[in-house]
Amino acid sequence: MSKRSAEQSAEQSPAKKAKSLEAAVAAADAADAAQEWREVGANAGGAADDDGVAADQAPADASGDLPFGPPHNGQTNLYYEYRDHTADIQLHAWGYDLAMTFENTALAMFDYMVELPAMAIKETRRIEAKAHDLNSLLFAFMDEWLYMFNTEMFVAKQIFISAFDRENFVIRAEGRGEIFDKTVHPAGTEVKAITFSEMQIHETDTRCDIYIIVDI
C-alpha cells in the first residue's frame, strides 16, 4: 500500500468505519444463524429430535432478518415459494448462506411433488454433484435429487449439505426421508426436468436467493 493510500485509510471517517463494522457484524450473525440452523437440523419439513423422529415444525427464524414464504401444504415456516411461469413453475428459495439456499431449493422441489408434512424420516440417501461453475452445480445438485425420486421414489424431507467446494464445484449432501407410496402419501405435481432457463443465484454477506424453473 502506498503512503498516500495508508494516509487515506487512516483518515477514514467514523461513519464509514461504523458502516464497515456493521456489515462485518451482520455477515458474522448470518453465518452463525446458518450454522445453528444446520446443528438443529431445522430444514423445512421438520427437525429431527434426539430419537430420530421429525418434529412438526422447524423453529422460527430468531434473527427476524429472514422472512418465511407463503404457507404451503399446511406449513408456515418455509424459506421458499412458488411462482407461476407459463407452463412451468419457478422455485424461489432463500437462506443465510449458499449451502442453506441450495438445500431449501431442493426441498421446494420435493414439496411441490408431494406433501412433505405427510412424509416420515425412515431412510437416508447421499448424493454428490459435480460441475464447472455455480449455475451448473445448482443444476447438477437438483438433478441428482430428481433422479433419486424418479428411480427410487425417495423423498427427502430434510437435506443437509456436508461439503460445499466452491473452487472445484463439488457438493456432497445427505437426504433424510422415505419412499413415496401413492396409496399412502398425497401427491402433488410431477417435476419432469430441471432447466437452466432464467436461473439466478444472488448472494450477499447476509442472504442468498435462488430462482430456478422446473419443467412440469
CA 147 to chain CA centroid, Å, is 18
CA angle, corner 177, sides to 169 and 166, nearest 5? 10
Question: Residue 44: helix, strand or coil by DSSP?
Answer: coil
pLDDT of the residue at 87 = 72
- Nearest Cα neighbor of 149 from 171, 119, 170 is 119
Count of Cβ atoms closer than 10 Å to residue 35 Cβ:
13
Cα R_g (the chain), whole angstroms? 19
Give the C-alpha separation, 51 to 215, whole Å: 37
The span from the CA of 82 to the CA of 135, in Å, is: 19
Q: What is the pLDDT of residue 73?
A: 74
What string of pLDDT tens digits covers the 216 residues of the chain? 555 545 544 555 555 555 555 545 555 555 555 555 555 554 444 433 333 333 333 333 434 478 788 778 777 778 999 998 777 899 999 999 999 999 999 999 999 999 999 999 999 999 999 999 999 999 999 999 999 999 999 999 999 999 999 999 999 999 999 999 999 999 999 999 999 999 999 999 999 999 999 999
pLDDT of residue 28: 53
Residue 38: CB partners within 8 Å, gap ≥ 6?
100, 160
Contact 141, 102 (CB under 8 A): yes
Res 31: pLDDT: 57
Q: How many Å apart are CA 168 and CA 149, to the nearest integer?
A: 26
